Amino acid sequence: MDFGLTEEEAEFRAELRSWLATTLPRLPPKPSPDDWPGRRAYDTHWQRLLYDAGYAHLHWEAAPGLRLVFLEETELAGAPYVGANFVGLLHAGPTIAAEGTPEQRERWLGPILRGDEIWCQGFSEPDAGSDLASLRTRAVRDGDDYLVTGSKIWTSHAEIADWCELLVRTDPDAHRHRGISWLALPMDAPGITVRPLRTLAGTAEFAEVFLDEVRVPVANRVGAENDGWRVTMVTLSFERGTAFVGEVVACRRTLAALAVRARENGRWDDPALRRRLGRLHTEFTALWRLTQWNVSEARAGGGVPGPGGSVFKLRYSGARQELYEAAAEVLGPDALDLDREWAVDRLSALSYTIAAGTSQIQRNIIAERLLGLPKGGA
């Protein structure tokens, strides 16, 4: 794989860098981490700016090189990441683009790209965790609707979402990996109760969602009835394969800032700390190269990322946590001050062990799909 830039990519980088230099200074102040209505307004405003400038589609349809340049330049410039648009842009949107009907693409993709509508993710359930095949939320056919009853937990952005990518069991008698369907749930439908969950970092990014005979049109089902497990694998491939890639650049930027802080407060004189930061620099450089390879392979394979995303997700989760442990060593007591962004990021890093599938799930995928080992218990 050639890591150099083509002439088109170099011109795109220069154009994007110029646009960021003139646009970012005009952004309003970023809301506090716990102000989700404010964060929605801020993140959707940024998405609209990207859309109007012709950059909003780069998460989905761009050539791999242009997409990577976009991720790298926006992170290096300190531009907002997808924020509240995370699920719509990086999970639901790509899934609908790959698996939806022409009518579904027409209905949902435009509002996601423009930042008009926010999506949340309704996959996990209280008694299932990362074992999605154990889900119990049921959808019973009633004419042209499904009646959905059950509950979800760790539902990202449910408090401010317009839509939810929802997994339901449509055939309770089928094998647990069958009988599942993928629905687009309107969050303003009668029968929905949302209870925010406060995390260790003090924010309410997640929520419990309770569903009491909620009517969802059959036309909102993405993929065939009872074929939702396959559609879900597409969603998870995007989640693990590409949804975190922009964060690698952010971690490299944080690492550079950490080195500057260490020089300022004298911690740089510690050779063990310098070796630790140097090893992390190598780790994130390697992860970025892996990102380039994964994105390129996804394009060659029809746009859906392969199991290489699990390699990235597993190693990235560990590296991110190690980064913020190193930050605690450099910052000392300041690392415990929750009013400081790095302290909140350190606590948030702990969730990456279970986010988007636990590390054990990723190891199983790598063992079975990349190494060809038998399934556990076989």
Per residue in 192-213, pLDDT (tens digit) is 999 988 877 677 778 999 999 9
Q: Is 351 part of any domain? A: yes
Instruction: With cut-offs at 50, 70 and 90, classify the pLDDT of residue 17.
Output: very high
Residue appearing with tokens 């407060």 = 265
Q: Is 106 part of any domain? A: yes
Q: Is 171 part of any domain? A: yes
Indicate if 108 and 124 belong to the same structural domain. no
Instruction: With cut-offs at 50, 70 and 90, classify the pLDDT of residue 112.
Output: very high
Indicate if 364 and 261 belong to the same structural domain. yes
Of 114, 143, 162, the domain-final residue: 114
Q: What is the pLDDT of residues 27-58, one digit of tens each?
A: 999 888 778 889 999 999 999 999 999 999 88
Reference 195, options 159, 144, 223; nearest CA is 159
Res. 378: pLDDT tops 50: no
This prediction has a pTM of 0.79
Residue appearing with tokens 């190693």 = 315
Which CATH number belongs to the domain containing residue 349 in this structure? 1.20.140.10
Indicate if 266 and 340 belong to the same structural domain. yes
Residue 357, pLDDT score: 72
Least confident segment among 3-12, 87-96, 102-111, 282-291: 3-12
Indicate if 17 and 110 belong to the same structural domain. yes
Residue 24, pLDDT score: 95
Indicate if 102 and 55 belong to the same structural domain. yes
Res. 189: pLDDT tops 90: yes
Indicate if 102 and 149 belong to the same structural domain. no
Of 85, 114, 143, the domain-final residue: 114
Domain range for residue 93? 7-114
Residue 2, pLDDT score: 58
Q: Is 231 part of any domain? A: no
Of 84, 114, 144, the domain-final residue: 114
Catalytic residue among 72, 165, 239, 283: 239
Q: Is 176 part of any domain? A: yes
Q: Is 262 part of any domain? A: yes
Determine what percent of the chain is predicted with pLDDT higher than 90.
41
Residue 242, pLDDT score: 60
Res. 364: pLDDT tops 70: yes
Res. 268: pLDDT tops 60: yes
Res. 297: pLDDT tops 60: yes
Number of folded domains that form the chain: 3
Instruction: With cut-offs at 50, 70 and 90, classify the pLDDT of residue 191.
Output: very high
Indicate if 293 and 357 belong to the same structural domain. yes
Which CATH number belongs to the domain containing residue 103 in this structure? 1.10.540
In single-letter form, the type of residue at position 27 comes to L
Which CATH number belongs to the domain containing residue 193 in this structure? 2.40.110.10
The per-residue pLDDT of the chain, averaged, comes to 86
> Does the active-site annotation cover 297?
no
Indicate if 47 and 107 belong to the same structural domain. yes
Indicate if 109 and 123 belong to the same structural domain. no
Indicate if 145 and 66 belong to the same structural domain. no
Indicate if 32 and 78 belong to the same structural domain. yes
CA 167 to mean position of chain CA atoms: 17
Residue 239, pLDDT score: 67
More confident residue, 175 or 182: 182
Q: Is 2 part of any domain? A: no
Q: Is 230 part of any domain? A: no
Residue 19, pLDDT score: 97
Indicate if 57 and 82 belong to the same structural domain. yes
